[in-house]
Every structure is written in structure tokens, then in C-alpha cells.
Structure 1
Amino acid sequence: MRHLPLILFGLFAAATSVHAQQLAATCHASSSYDLTVQANSLLFDRPAPAPRRVLLEDGTLRVDGQAVALNDENQDRLSLFERNLRALVPRVKAVADQGVDVAVQAIRSEAGGLNLGADTRAELDRRLAADAADLKQRIAASQSTHDWHGTAANQYAQRLASDIVPLLAADLGQQALTAAMSGDLQGAAALRDRASNLANTWPARLQQRMQVLRPRIEALCPDIQRLASLQQGIRDDQGRSLDLLEVGH
């Protein structure tokens, strides 16, 4: 059942990654920075190009460690930008929470077509509930986009998959063994094909299921566009545009 890791790797991570993709596609919004929400400030950082580190705190601006003088208008704009962005964070997290629920339901639906034993189904439900609760807790506690991409996200997705893959693999393996020992080689082959087909068709079906999030994402777009407008044209002391958030058409 070597295809199962391909199916389950990142299922819960999809709740956040697909959500992020939809946010970018639906609102035409993107940023080259990561965002960390701190107690008294917002930190935008990226490896390149400069500016690499932008710190906003109550209308003040520091870029790559240097304070930037602002006129009253730009100071007010950045203060409003910071306040509005902080207000947007819990709404984005709420959509990600719903994405977790969608992913859990998707796994249960796919598992329903595998003819799993009653004990396996019960244990799967228990593990899904525990993993979903853990991911929702992580979403609630997270204050940085660094938590949801690259190595950190992949390691978390692998850990979640390792919690579920052995359970399903054992059940399907037993089904295949039972079929083979009874002489039903065709049935054993069908089980392998089912796992393979599931891996091949899963991404498209997950994307389709995630469309249920679209209305809630669309509701975020006006506020995201407002944020982009507030910071548009603000420059550092070297005349470089910050471009913390970019919105296309």
C-alpha cells in the first residue's frame, strides 16, 4: 500500500495550504514577506531583496533596523494598516479552521470507500478527531506565516500522515491477504488498484471540496484590498517601496 502516504501526506496541511492558495487566487493578493504578529508590533521579513525586515509599531516604521521618519499622513495610514491587519487575523484563522473540518470530512469520505473493518473505522475517527483538534490548536496559537510553509509544515504533515497511514495500510493489507489466501487474486489486485486510483484522483477532489470555503474567502477580499491601499506608496529612507501586500486584478 505504498500509495497511501501520497494520499494522506499533507491532508491536514491542505486545510491551510489550499486555503492560502484560494486566498491568493480569489482576492488576487500576494506578499513576498512572511508576517509575524507580535504583542506590540507587526514584523514582515523575507530573505531577499532588500528591504528584508520591516517592523510596524503603532504608526512607527523600522526598516532593516533603521527608524524611518514618517509624515503625519503616512503615520496614520500605517497605524490603521496595523490595526486592520490585526483584526483580519482571527477571521483568516476561522476560515483555516473550517478547512480542517473539510479535510477531516474528505478523509472520512474516502475511507468510506475502502471497506474498512468496524474497529479500523472507529480508530480512524478517534485519530482524526485528535489530529484535527491538535491542528486547530496550532492554528489558534500560531502568530507567524513561517509556521505554515517549508520544512516546518512538511514535518507536521508527515507526522499526521504517520498517525493514519499505518492504520489504513494494515486494514487494506489484511483485506488483500485474505483475498489472496482465499484464491481471489483478482480481488487482491483490485485493492491495490483502488489505493493507486485514490492517490491519482485525490488532489482534484480535495480542491473541489475546498471550494466550499470560497464565499468566506471572498468576504475577506475588500479588507485585504483596503490593507494594500493603506500601505501603497510608503517608502523607506532609501526611497524603496515597502510593498508589504500586493493586490492584482
Structure 2
Amino acid sequence: MRHVLLATACLLALSAGAARADDGAVQSPELSSHQCGLSTPYNVQVDGGGVWLYRHDGVPKEIFFHDGTLSVDRQVQAVSDADARRLRTMEDEARALMPQVADVARGSVDITFDALSGVMRAMTGSERKARKVDRHRKQALAQIDGSLGKGRWDQDVFGGDFERNVERVVEDMTGSLTRSVLWAVFTGRAGKLEARADKLDAEMDELLEARTAELERRAQGLCTHVVALRGQQDALEYRYRGEPLVMLEPETPPARSVASNGDTGHDAIAVDEP
């Protein structure tokens, strides 16, 4: 039973993008759209025709700009020469940003599925089962290539749906892995399984730690473009219904819960992850 729990724990940890480490040093890559402290309520399409932001709820529903022109809810707006320059800069920044976001997303998928296939290969000794994981990798990469790779950021695709797809892969793997582990225990190969588990722990640390740190560095570098976009947006003289036009906005602070910390007179604050 200890071996079953160990194998399952490995998969559950990897489903969050991190290998189990005794000192907790190996963390999952922080690659969410909230990393730069800014977010957008819009879906975004960036291509040679310009930048298009659209959503189903809220106003305005659509914003489009290209070569210094601005359209809001399909109505061309009058803008100053200074704003036209700012809009061109925003378009250039958005066009530079999107392929870099796609590359980071691909890197995140590769790290996750390298780890998952590594667990499957090491714990079952089955190349066939490891290749099955790689088929899911191809599907995830195809999803990125068909969206971000074409300059499109879709809130639905890269929100909970994408994470749930990875979780389903992990759940399928957990069932297969548990059956393999039980078979090894019942056939008297528990010692070999233990050796595999020890080796796996070291390999996963080596596999993920350096690559995750590099990917986080690249993801953080994207914030340069995001902050530049926000700066140009905030400088726009144009007003929508008397208010600044908001495409990027500060991320809402996470909810916090406060619990008493004994008699020390201080509060222990737990911050919920976004």
C-alpha cells in the first residue's frame, strides 16, 4: 500500500506542475495570466489586421485598433495624433508579446508532460504507456498552436478548461499506475518498485528544477511588454463615456482569511491562491 500511495502522490504533485521534493524547493512554474499583476477581461486576437478585444459581458464589448485608428463597438472613434502614436505602440507591443506567450505555454506543456511520462515509464517500465502520455502532450500543444500560435488568447480555453484537461490525463494515469503498482506488489517485486521510486524522486528533481526556473524567468520577462501596454493605455487621452478606456487592469487582490495566532497579539494571515 505504501507504494501505491507514493506513486499516486507523485502524479498528484505533477498534476500541479511540480515534482515532490523533500525540502519543498522544486515549485511549479508560475505561468498564469495574473503573473504581472495585471489582467484583461477580454478575449484577444492579434494578427496582421490589428488588435481585437472582445467579450460577451460588460461594456464596451469590442475594441479594435490598427495603425493608429480606434474602433469601439464597431464605431470608429476620433483620436488625437498623440493617441494614434500610442495605439501604434500598443499594437507593436501586442504583436511582439503573443508569440512569446505561445512559446512559454509550449514550454510549460513540455515540462508537465515530460514529468508525467517520466513517472509512467519509471514506475511501470512500459514504453507503450509512456507513449500514451505523449499523445496527450500532442493534443495540448495542438491546442496552443491553434490559439496562441495564431495570435488568439481565449479566456475559456486558457482558464479552467485547460487545467481540467491536464487533470483528466493525470486521473487516467493514476488508475493505470495503481494497477501496475498493485501487480508488482502481489507478484513479489516490491523491492524493485522501491528502487524505481527512489530513482524517480532524484530524476524528477533534476528534470524539473532547472527547467522550471528558466521558464519562470522567461514568463516574468513577458511582463515588460504587458507593463508597456498598460502604460500606453493609461496615457490615452481618449475617453469612453467620459471614462478612460480600460483593456488591462490591476489584478483584484486575493481574498484573505485572518485567524488568531494564540496569545501573541498578532494575526496569522492566509492568502488564497488565485
Give TM class, smaller chain: 0.5 to 0.7
Map residues 1-249 of structure 1 onto 2, 5 A cutoff: 20-21=31-32, 24-25=34-35, 27-111=36-120, 115-117=123-125, 120=126, 122-142=127-147, 143-146=151-154, 147-151=157-161, 153=162, 156-157=165-166, 161=169, 165-166=171-172, 169-177=175-183, 179-180=185-186, 210-234=212-236, 235-246=238-249
Contact 2:39 2:249 in 1 (8 A): yes
Q: Deviations over 1:139-164 (max 9, x none)?
A: 2231322232244x3664466x1xx7
- Inter-CA distance 242–111: structure 2 relative to 1 (3 Å threshold): same
1:80 Cα offset (Å): 1.6
- State the TM-score, normalized to the length of structure 1: 0.68
Cα drift, residue 225 of structure 1: 1.4
Please state whether the residue corresponding to 2:63 is helix, strand or coil.
Answer: strand
Give, in angstroms, the shift of residue 123 of structure 1.
1.7
Relative to structure 1, the CA distance from residue 105 to residue 176 in structure 2 (aligned partners, 3 Å threshold; closer, same or farther) is same
Partner SS for 1:232: helix
* Structure 1 contact 102–209 (Cα < 8 Å) conserved: yes
Q: C-alpha deviations, 1:78-101, integer Å up to 9, x for none?
A: 012112211111111111121122
Question: Structure 1 CA distance, aligned partners of 2:184 and 2:160?
Answer: 41
Structure 1 residues 130, 42: CA separation in 2 closer, same or farther (over 3 Å shift)? same
* Contact 2:61–2:73 (Cα < 8 Å) also in 1: yes
Unpaired segments ≥5 residues, structure 1: 12-16, 195-205
Aligned length: 218
Distance 1:106 1:218, change over 3 A: same
Deviates more, 1:95-104 or 1:233-242: 233-242
- Structure 1 or 2: larger strand share? 2
Distance in 1 (alpha carbons) for counterparts of 2:51 and 2:30: 22
Contact 2:63/2:70 (<8 A) preserved: yes
8 Å contact kept, 1:68–1:236: no
Question: Given that residues 63 and 236 in structure 1 are in contact (C-alpha distance below 8 angstroms), is that contact kept between their aligned partners in structure 2?
Answer: no
Q: Name the amino acid aligned to 2:175.
A: A
- Aligned in 2, Cα 1:208/1:149: closer, same or farther, shift over 3 Å? farther
Distance 1:223 1:91 in 2: 10
Secondary structure of residue in 1 paired with 2:223: helix
Give distance in 2, aligned partners of 1:207 and 1:59: 44
Q: Provide the rounded CA distance (Å) in 1 between the counterparts of 2:220 and 2:176.
A: 42
| Unaligned segments of structure 2, at least 5 residues | 18-27, 198-207, 252-274
Q: Which moved more, 1:103-112 or 1:67-76?
A: 103-112
Q: Higher helix share goes to which structure?
A: 1
Q: Given the superposition, is the C-alpha separation of residues 176 and 87 from structure 1 closer, same or farther in structure 2, using an over 3 Å criterion?
A: same
Shift of 1:137: 3.1
Does the aligned pair in 1 maintain the 2:31–2:216 contact within 8 Å? no
In structure 1, C-alpha distance between the alignment counterparts of 2:163 and 2:220, rounded to whole Å: 28
Post-superposition CA distance 1:86-132 (Å, at most 9, x none): 111111111112112211232244446x6313xx2x12332233332
Give the structure-2-normalised TM-score: 0.63
